[in-house]
Structure 1
Amino acid sequence: MVPVPRFLSLPDYNRQLLTLCEEDADREHYRYTETIEERFQEDVKNCHPLPTVQFDLTLRIPITTNKWGKFYLNKGMHEYSVSPKHAGSKVNLILTSALVIVQDENDHEIVRHRRLYGDTKQQQMDWLPYLKQLSLRPRALKYTGIYDLMPPTMKAYLEGCSHTEVGRVLKTLAELTNRTGFESAVNTVNQALCYDAKDADSLENLYRRLYSNVPELPPMPLHPGIPKMKQMSAHLITYDALLKGKGGAAHA
């Protein structure tokens, strides 16, 4: 075709082309005094019936994952994730023009990815199974290769959390990823770093603020006669001095 078409999904583009062909079928044939649709119906009468068994256009290959539960295609240029549970194990791949479907040895689907093309290094990563696995064993977080694959902001956030809170935070990140994707979880973590919020409850609240359709209310307008007050900052040292002066040091 001229010019060369550009599209994101080959199946969707093929359906679009089929619709255009059907719309064009009412045009008169360039050689015969009939429409293209009439010539097509004449051809259909002389065609053999289609096979009853659907022709499989997929490629099926076995492959072994690495210690991080990943595998490579296209001479190591394209990286795909499976899950930490299937690290170093054999899996079966079903390759279509648009998808890479990963199955276990019993042909049960584990995960599916959009198929990558091109001669540059690319990655398709599904973080959900990795975050779920890490939330079950949070103390081993830094000793896994998965930790090194995390975005720098997420690693910095987890390093600032207490040991007792890391498991809850990882579980919350898995839940956020399951709802709206890993990118939304990363954005929530970035906001939490700005507010220095280092607990799972704060992550949940920030997520609702970012991704729930709750309008942010503007500041309440004040009457012109009301004087503007300076913001007061709390100084606990002043309260300590007050308690000591009142004989409350023993109760502080």
Structure 2
Amino acid sequence: MLTMEHIYRIRHLRKFEGKSLRKIAEITGHDFSTVKRYVDKEDFNLPMPIKQKREGKLSPYRDIVLKWLTDDKNAPHKQQHTAKRIHDRLEELYPNEFDAHERSVRKFVAKLRKELVMVTDGFLPLEHPPGEAQVDFGEARFIENGITYDGNYLNISYPHSNGGYMQLFKSQNQECLLEGMKAIFEHVGGVPIAIWFDNMSTAVKKVKEYGKRDLTNGFIRFMMHYGFQSNFCNPNSGNEKGSVEAKVGYHRRNLLVPVPEFKSLKEFNKELLEKCDKDMNRMHYKGHGLIKDLFEEDIIEFFKLPDAPFEVYLHQFAKADNYGKAKFDGRLYSTSPNMAGQQVMFKVGAYDIDVLDYNSKLIVTHSRLYGEEKESMIWVPYLELMSKRPTALKYTGLFNQLPTTIKEYMNQCNYVSKKQALKLFTKMTANTNIDSAIAAFEESIKCGTSDVDSIWATYCRLTTGPLPELEICLSETVPKLEKYTPDITVYDKLMVAGGLNQ
């Protein structure tokens, strides 16, 4: 089976150098049929995995260590990180997760330092024809559902037109990079023919001599799926992607001030795309015309979108504990009580995490945890078990999350009525969601009804809405009644008369 690098070379020779299939077979040494198969291949989505993929113990800390080493270039030599200092800082930052030995950290740091090659040559003026783009991340704070995140925003700049788009995320991992690019490609309706990147670890595994790079498999699959050509800047050469460097600041000042606050990050990102559309209704900074008109010249050169959308996710296997909880990226996610002690698979995207069983069947979907968030608990799969063990309710995290009125109601119930109430709660949650179940219980308790039939009736009313008013058509045999308006002034006379008699 060919590696991603071999497949990429075959497609590059065909698409960008115009070589014939037989010439490619001669150059690469692969069979003609093999060359043809990968030239014709359009879908580079990753197939469902069948076994666990293991990663190095230190790989989750790669980005932060790389940042420390990069920042060291601006610090005095005696104030730069040693491998021991990096080991100690990781222990301080991740006291409950980090358990690597100092010797392992030394090897890890030595490997990263080899990638940080200093380049001191002068700048070269670069031409940017229509259809090319540049990509980079910026840092930004935002508030989602009352929680503050220090996240990142992906920027794509089109140097020819000075157009640009952005997407906001809670991190700058590979899933965020690819999800942001995919969303922008689909919004614009095309793919840049060439895209410039810096040496971000989500795309580049290793920077080698003479400008060569080892790319991550996920990035290679994404690049081949959409057909663009990638170019990577020399280390410490931000001038080579100056357009997007400027766009990072522009987007922050104009779209992220004041600190944005919203309910859903996904929905906010859709709004950002529309705001970027409107932002193109202004003059190019060199006075070449409106940006939106120049951007049409970019679009003409874009590749068309592939028929199959790319699925942005990574997969990882984990074993659930006795409570049915499994760990990904140092954070706990609930699954289902019947998965206790069994292997599950995380299907991880930029926004969400699907938890699948051994048959790749969906168990539950979580919002992906970032920042200080350590555990996500979705109680729906646990409710059925809880309804069979009602006495355990008050010892669960769900009980603590319930409104006071429902807690008091449950505490007053005997064993049988509590069991019935929990079964009803489970049924309502499965039909709609846990919020509507809570609302039905609260409304019923407020109205003074606590039996399960009344609570179910309240739930049906709240979830289905008011009943429609029926128009009754009477037959012609029914006599028509004249409108009668009573005269109540006679009662006023009686009241006056009664008052006079007194």
Asked whether the two chains share a fold, i.e. TM above 0.5, the reply is yes
What is the match of residue 317 of structure 2? 62
CA–CA separation in structure 2 for the residues paired with 1:35 and 1:163? 72
Which residue is 2:264 aligned to? 9
Match of 2:381 in 1: 129
Residue 488 of structure 2 corresponds to none
SS at match of 1:151: helix
**In the alignment, structure 1 residue 89 sits paired with structure 2 residue 337:** no
CA shift for structure 1 position 114: 2.1
* 2:53 corresponds to: none
Quote the Cα distance in structure 2 between the aligned partners of 1:172 and 1:28: 61
Q: Which ranges of 4 or more aligned residues in structure 1 deviate by more than 4 Å?
A: 48-53, 144-147, 152-160, 186-199, 205-214
Cα 1:189/1:36, change in 2 over 3 Å: closer
Which residue identity does 1:129 align to in structure 2?
P
Cα deviation 1:198-246 (Å, max 9, x = unaligned): 64335435656877867xxxxxxxxxxxxxxxxxxxxxxxxxxxxxxxx
Distance 1:156 1:81, change over 3 A: farther
Counterpart code for 2:289: E
Cα deviation for residue 173 of structure 1 reads 1.1
Higher relative contact order (CA 8 A, sep 6+): 2
Question: Aligned letter for 1:21?
Answer: C
Q: 2: CA distance between counterparts of 1:5 and 1:62?
A: 35
Q: What are the within-5 Å matches in structure 2 for residues 150-165 of structure 1?
A: 150-151=398-399, 157-158=409-410, 160-165=412-417
Does the aligned pair in 2 maintain the 1:160–1:198 contact within 8 Å?
A: no
Quick check: which has more Rg, 1 or 2?
A: 2
Shift of 1:66: 1.8
Q: Which residue number in structure 2 is paired with residue 30 of structure 1?
A: 285
Q: Which runs of 5+ in 1 are unaligned?
A: 215-252
**Hey, what's the Cα distance between the residues in 1 that align with 2:394 and 2:356?**
21
How far apart, CA to CA, are the structure 1 residues paired with 2:365 and 2:423?
22
User: TM-score under structure 2 normalisation?
Assistant: 0.35
Distance 1:52 1:210 in 2: 42
Q: Residues 195, 12 of structure 1: CA spacing in aligned structure 2 closer, same or farther, 3 A cutoff?
A: closer
Aligned pair in 2 of structure 1 residues 191, 26: CA closer, same or farther (>3 Å)? closer
Q: Measure, in 2, the Cα distance between the counterparts of 1:186 and 1:46.
A: 54
Change (3 A) 1:200 1:45: closer
- Quickly say closer, same or farther: Cα 1:16–1:164, change in 2 above 3 A: closer
Q: Which moved more, 1:152-161 or 1:173-182?
A: 152-161
- How many residue pairs end up in the alignment? 211
Q: CA 1:193–1:53 in structure 2 vs 1: closer, same or farther (change >3 Å)? A: closer
Q: Secondary structure at the match of 2:354?
A: strand
Compute the displacement of 1:5 (Å).
Answer: 3.5
| Paired letter, 2:319 | T
1:40-73 CA distance string (max 9 Å, x none): 2222333445555544321211122222222244
Q: 1:223-242 alignment to 2 at 5 Å? A: none
TM-score between both structures, scaled by the size of structure 1: 0.63
Moved more, 32-41 or 149-158: 149-158
Q: Look up the equivalent residue of 2:277 and give its one-letter code.
A: E
Q: Which amino acid letter does the alignment assign opposite residue 171 of structure 1? A: K
